[in-house]
Amino acid sequence: MEARAWKEETLAATVEYIKESAYEIKVIQHLRICQECQMEVCLSIERYGGRCLPWFLDLTNGDIADAEDGGYFANSDCPPVRNYKIGSYWDRTLDSKETLRFIMDRIAWAERIIRLQIVQATQFYKRLKAWDLTGLAPSEESLPF
């Protein structure tokens, strides 16, 4: 009973994760072409550090911010903020070209990660769906979430 309930809950959570990840990919694809949204994101980063933006554009995101100090993304190819001269609305040093370059680099980086996570979650879902409740359950450690 317990294994069956865990299986159903985990299948539902995996499907939800895949949907959320697919939505992030749609946001990235839209942001590449929509100049109005690019402007809004630039303003959000220059004014508030991207706090209202997705994880990959949020400059206050602890995982990404700590990457330089050996954090979660330290060994990745995450474009570090220090490589860009991002302007600040508050001290009137706006440079939207640099901020836009940062955004484009970060969304390219995040898209690769998200697509890989979707593949991993899909593979996990298939293994779990095929599990007949005997033997060892598919490992949750293989999940990207």
Q: What pTM was estimated for this model as a whole?
A: 0.82
Tokens encoding 111: 């898209």
* For the chain, domain boundaries: 13-115
State residue 109 phi and psi, 5-degree precision. -65, -45
21-69 pLDDT, tens digit per residue, is: 999 999 999 999 999 999 999 999 988 888 899 999 988 876 665 555 5
Tokens encoding 136: 């060892």
70-128 pLDDT, tens digit per residue, is: 555 555 788 888 888 887 777 776 668 889 999 999 999 999 999 999 999 999 999 99
Taking CA atoms, 62 is separated from 55, 66, 105, 116, 142, in Å, by 10, 6, 19, 22, 23
CA atoms within 13 A on the CB side of 107: 20
Tokens encoding 73: 């993304």
